[in-house]
Structure 1
Amino acid sequence: MDNGTYEFNESQNQLILDLSKKMLFVSYFLIAGGILGALGGVIMLLKGMLLQGGFGELVQGVILLITGIWTINAAKAFQLIVDTQGNDIENLMGALGQLRKLYTLQYWLFLIAVIFMAIALILTIIFGIAAGGS
């Protein structure tokens, strides 16, 4: 530690490098799945299959694609920690910012999904009781 900077040691750099490589690996599958899902959704929409899941598949594909791209960005930010000297803490904060962005997206998507599932459950109970009573 000199000039007020901190450098991770070799063991710490190996841990960060391993994380970065695994994140890149996962991101490629997210992007591939996103592209395939979005294409499948577009094809279904072009065939007029909106109600059969075309729109949902397109949205899911786009979300996977965005998640994959943001995962690559976070992986590259972690890679910078290993590849550069003198900026480890600054690069770590940048990498954490990328992860925060990725997990903020996932947080909101899960929250929205839970809300929709709760609404669907309530409507099923209400209309199920109404249909059973008539």
Structure 2
Amino acid sequence: MRLSHLIRTMTFVATALVVAACSDDRSDMAIAIIDGTPPLLTTDSNFTDGYSTTADLFVSGQVQDSNGVKSLTYTLNEESAHTVEVDTEGYFKDRILLASGSNTILLEAIDNAGNIMRSTKTIYVENNYLESA
């Protein structure tokens, strides 16, 4: 009995789909394509975890998304975010001034659909490097 009910339900659904597909009135039909893919964020080899001999970090790379990039920012040590300029092809470059000791840098790209890609690195700058500069 359950199989019979399942077959009737599937037949009804299939019939409804055929009728909807053959209908000429498309004013009430809408197809929503949801973008759930975050932007692709690539950085150069300078943006890695580790130690630095200078307080200057030069980071560059590219951010790409088929529906466009809304913003690219970096945050240093959980302070306020700084906007990074991105050219029309998605390339960027910026200079980040690091503090003595441990520095956590969060690079965040947001596409036009609101999807987010984050890359976090920790770079340590020793005091004696800054004093000798």
TM over 0.5: no
Q: Pick the TM interval, shorter chain.
A: under 0.3
More strand by percentage: 2
Q: Normalising to structure 1: TM-score of the pair?
A: 0.24
Larger radius of gyration: 2
